[in-house]
Amino acid sequence: MIHETINYTEDGRVNLQTYIPEVKGGPLMPALISCPGGAWTKLTNTEGEMVALTFMKERYASFVLSYSIGDYSEFPNPLVEIGWAISTIRKNAEKWHIDPRKIAVAGFSAGASVASMSATQWKNEEIASKLGVKVEDLKPNAAILGYCCNDLSTIFDNQDDDLVIPEPGKITADRTPQIDIVNYVTKDTSPIFFYHCRYDEYVPVKNTWLLASRLGEQGLPFEMHIFQTGHHGMSVNNKLTLEHDPVDPCVTQWVPLCLNWLDQLFKD
C-alpha cells in the first residue's frame, strides 16, 4: 500500500492521505476520496481511514481528505480543497494506476456536504484558476452521500424535540447559501448515491429525499437507500468500526450496494 500524506496548507491542516493498493498491470483502478464528518468542528476517524480501508479492499485507490473545519470552514475553502484533491488525483493518475474518469467523492454528515458541494458546484472557473487546472479537472465522476444535510433549515429551523443540534462550525453558523445543496442541482451535477437511516437524530431523513427529488426533476441518475434501523454516524458499519458501533445487518449493506452502483456507472 502507498500510504502518504500530501499537504495543501503549509501547516498540514488540510491534507490528502493516500491508501493506494500497489498493483502491477491490469485494469486501471477507480478512486474514492472520503470526507469524514464531525459537524464542521472535528474530523472523525471512523469516516476517514475506515472508509478508505474498506474500499481499498475492493481495489479502489482510496484517499482521505482533511478539509477546513471550525473558523477555517468559511466558504469557499472546503469546495476549493475537495477540488484540489480531485485534481491532484487526476494529475497523478498514471503514477498511481488510476482511471481519471472514475473518481468518486464520498462524504458523511458534514463531510457529505463537502462531497455534495463538489458534485453540484464543481464548475467554478475561479477555483480552477486558483488551483491552476482546467475546470473539468474539478468534476467528480460520482458522489456518495451518507446522512447528508442538504437544506440547513431542516436542522436549524426544526422544532422537533428529538433532534440533536450540535455546535455549528463557521460555514453552518453563517448559514452559507452554497451548503443548501438542494438549490444548486443543475444538469452538470454528478451522479449521486445516498444512504440514510430513518431515525437519524442529527440530520432529518427528509434531507435525502429532498435532494433526490431535485435530481429527479433534472432527469439525473441517482440511487437512494433509507434504512429502517440505525442512527447517525454509522459510517461503513463493518468490523473495522466495531469499537464505534456494532454491525447492523441492514445498514452494512449500503457498501456492497454502492459498489454495485459504481460498477455499473463506471462500466467501460
- How is residue 39 annotated by DSSP? T
Taking 50 as the pLDDT cut, the residues of the chain under it are none
User: What is the reported pLDDT for 161?
Assistant: 59
Q: CA 55, 68, 200 angle in degrees (round to 5)?
A: 60
**Burial label, 263 (beta-carbon count in 10 A; 0-12, 13-18, 19+):** exposed
Residue 86 and residue 133: Cα distance in Å, rounded? 11
User: What is the reported pLDDT for 182?
Assistant: 93
Strand partners, 32: 62, 104
Amino acid at 267: K
Using DSSP bridges, classify how beta strands 98-108 and 142-146 pair: parallel, antiparallel or unpaired: parallel
Q: Is the dihedral of CA 223, 160, 155, 201 positive or negative?
A: negative
Strand partners, 35: 107
CB-CB contact of 215 with 182 (8 Å): no
Residue 260 and residue 266: Cα distance in Å, rounded? 10
Residue 79 and residue 68: Cα distance in Å, rounded? 10
Amino acid at 146: G
For residue 63, give the nearest of 103, 119, 109, 8 by alpha carbon.
103
Residue 63 and residue 45: Cα distance in Å, rounded? 13
pTM over 0.85: yes
For residue 148, give the nearest of 180, 188, 191, 187 by alpha carbon.
180
User: What is the reported pLDDT for 268?
Assistant: 72
Q: What is the pLDDT of residues 186-243, one digit of tens each?
A: 999 999 999 999 998 889 999 998 999 999 999 999 999 999 998 888 888 877 776 7
For residue 96, give the nearest of 17, 5, 7, 18 by alpha carbon.
18
For residue 225, give the nearest of 198, 200, 191 by alpha carbon.
198
CB-CB contact of 109 with 179 (8 Å): no
